Chain A
């Protein structure tokens, strides 16, 4: 019984960290209508960036949490104008081919610069555990989860309480409306893209607290995040958080009864069931 509780709690912790990135992907997909298959590779880049900030420059791990997202936010501007802007309005299949090639290129670049050896950030408490009653949890995972929750709440406040956030939500629910009320849509797209990029940065840093990084991790994160937001329903911020919790739970709870390697099989099962029962996702309206 306590093993089940243990895996449920750790699944929720994992889901909480995924949620930050899922919200970022949801904003990018919702506002720009952009199918971003190189998403996980940017997460990989963020993990590497935080690894190098931590080991080379000796920055404090909480300081990195501000530096890397800020870096990615600024990086988002040239990336948007250079690579992503001309994709807007083109068919989805084109997005997929284009970003999949980008994903190959990024993965290869990471392989060239940093080799295929997995690297760990090695936060001092990554090996420590906290006992809560009968369950034992990793300290780094808990800290990452708490930070993820705080940041998700901040994003919620931004989206629901500020004018810019309202603009983003308006663009998610109806993109044509933005042009109609006289706002340059590309400014909104840029804002959403940069917000998404900085959330990728946050997710990458938090993942790097606990997980090792190698050039090939990107594909897995792309798959997880897309499945999370499709389960939750694209266009719904709450949905993507629920979706990522389901992904996290399916990974840990299935590992309790079956070989760990098969955890993604269960994720796919849940995905197919949800797609057949509610094709628009659990909270979706589009």
Chain B
């Protein structure tokens, strides 16, 4: 136990963890709100990273899993069964995981850019379907979580800090899951497929089933994020759920943070979300779209100058000075 704490890496992680637990004490509701969104997106980003960071399958379809899970959690909540979100989130994430396996099955022969293009089209199609069949889905106006009294059983709280801790708890859960995955047989198989599929299959790893499982787990984790998101925001519409912005937010966190690392996506999201919110606050009042223009340019610079991700750079610097 002592060794666990004295190791430099664990000390840093512990300190950061403690810091994130203590943040709500500051009491600023805006900061808590932004950081909650940040942690939720980080969960989705971790999910995306399981797909791309391990197997090298560049997915642009994770908004699909995110949005569908949010909708399913809500439907379970308003259905006659009245399933509480505490269970509903996991049911929805499992359903979305199955959808992830189905998507992997449909694109089983697609590699590299072909996979990226197929998944690129999926959320767009889902957006159209959800706006077209508005009688069932609520259409472009979106749907809201029914209003109730403060009710812990249905994940309905007045205090935003509670959601903050829920999101943080789920994030910790997914990070632990990913650490477990890192050391498991599935994790090694996924990495083997990612680095060289032919070599991996010659060693007896079934590339198809591994790929299906990988995307399934990835979709499950992203689905968790969607379920928490709807219970936190209490509202969702197809553009929020499946829009291009959602996709970019999920992917960018992982890309900027460091693809393939455990803490990279969290770190990246911690940069992306507050940055975009800050831009929105400061620049949007001058001119609509200016914040998007600036963040697009910053992103281009980032991607061009730090292609490996922030995480690896910070690691390098820490190694030098610690």
Q: From residue 91 to 133 of chain A, which have CB atoms closer than 8 A to chain B? A: 92-94, 96-98, 100-109, 111-112
Q: From residue 144 to 182 of chain A, which have CB atoms closer than 8 A to chain B? A: none
> Is A276 at the interface (CB under 8 A from chain B)?
yes
Cα distance, A93 to B296, chains bound together (Å): 17
Q: Which residue in chain B gives the minimum CB-CB distance to A115?
A: B288
Cα distance, A98 to B128, chains bound together (Å): 27
A268 near B299: Cβ-Cβ < 8 Å:
no
B116 near A107: Cβ-Cβ < 8 Å:
no
Task: Return the contact of B307 from the options A94, A101, A219, A275 (Cβ within 8 A).
Answer: A94
Report chain B residues within 8 Å CB of A268: 118, 121-122, 125
Report chain A residues within 8 Å CB of B244: 219
Report chain A residues within 8 Å CB of B251: 97
A264 near B299: Cβ-Cβ < 8 Å:
no
Task: Return the contact of B121 from the options A100, A103, A271 (Cβ within 8 A).
Answer: A271
A264 near B113: Cβ-Cβ < 8 Å:
no
Q: From residue 269 to 320 of chain B, which have CB atoms closer than 8 A to chain A? A: 287-293, 295-297, 299-300, 303-304, 307
Known: A262-B128, A265-B129. A96 touches B296 (CB 8 A): no
Looking at the assembled complex, report how far the CB atom of A53 sits from the nearest CB atom of chain B, in whole angstroms.
Answer: 23
Looking at the assembled complex, report how far the CB atom of B116 sits from the nearest CB atom of chain A, in whole angstroms.
Answer: 6
Q: Which residue in chain B gives the minimum CB-CB distance to A112?
A: B289
Surface stretch bound by A, among B4-12, B21-29, B104-112, B206-214:
B104-112
Q: Which residue in chain B gives the minimum CB-CB distance to A97?
A: B303
Cα distance, A265 to B130, chains bound together (Å): 12
Q: Which of B121, B244, B299 has the most CB of A within 10 A?
A: B121
Looking at the assembled complex, report how far the CB atom of A109 sits from the nearest CB atom of chain B, in whole angstroms.
Answer: 5
> Is A58 at the interface (CB under 8 A from chain B)?
no
Report chain B residues within 8 Å CB of A194: none
Known: A98-B300, A261-B132. A275 touches B118 (CB 8 A): yes
B248 near A93: Cβ-Cβ < 8 Å:
no
Cα distance, A100 to B114, chains bound together (Å): 16
Task: Return the contact of A98 from the options B52, B109, B304 (Cβ within 8 A).
Answer: B304
> Is B117 at the interface (CB under 8 A from chain A)?
yes
Q: From residue 35 to 51 of chain B, which have CB atoms closer than 8 A to chain A? A: none
A279 near B114: Cβ-Cβ < 8 Å:
yes
Report chain B residues within 8 Å CB of A264: 121, 124-125, 128
> Is B94 at the interface (CB under 8 A from chain A)?
no
Cα distance, A79 to B287, chains bound together (Å): 26
Known: A93-B58, A96-B58, A264-B125. A108 touches B296 (CB 8 A): yes
Q: From residue 230 to 281 of chain A, which have CB atoms closer than 8 A to chain B? A: 230, 259, 261-262, 264-265, 267-268, 271-272, 275-276, 279
Q: Which residue in chain B gives the minimum CB-CB distance to A29?
A: B113
Known: A105-B297, A279-B110. A96 touches B116 (CB 8 A): yes
> Is A8 at the interface (CB under 8 A from chain B)?
no
Cα distance, A90 to B305, chains bound together (Å): 13
Looking at the assembled complex, report how far the CB atom of B178 sits from the nearest CB atom of chain A, in whole angstroms.
Answer: 20
B118 near A35: Cβ-Cβ < 8 Å:
no
Cα distance, A215 to B292, chains bound together (Å): 13
Task: Return the contact of B289 from the options A92, A98, A108, A226 (Cβ within 8 A).
Answer: A108
> Is A227 at the interface (CB under 8 A from chain B)?
yes
Task: Return the contact of A94 from the options B108, B109, B299, B303 (Cβ within 8 A).
Answer: B303
Chain B residues with CB under 8 Å of chain A are 52, 58, 106-114, 116-118, 120-122, 124-125, 128-129, 131-132, 244, 248, 251, 255, 287-293, 295-297, 299-300, 303-304, 307
Chain A residues with CB under 8 Å of chain B are 35, 86, 90, 92-94, 96-98, 100-109, 111-112, 215, 219, 223, 226-227, 230, 259, 261-262, 264-265, 267-268, 271-272, 275-276, 279
Can you pick out 18 interface pairs between chain A and chain B where the beta carbons lie within 8 Å of each other? A93-B52, A93-B116, A96-B113, A98-B300, A101-B300, A102-B296, A104-B296, A104-B299, A107-B292, A108-B292, A108-B293, A112-B293, A227-B121, A264-B121, A264-B124, A265-B125, A268-B118, A279-B111
6 closest Cβ pairs, A-B complex? A105-B296, A108-B292, A111-B289, A104-B296, A101-B299, A108-B293
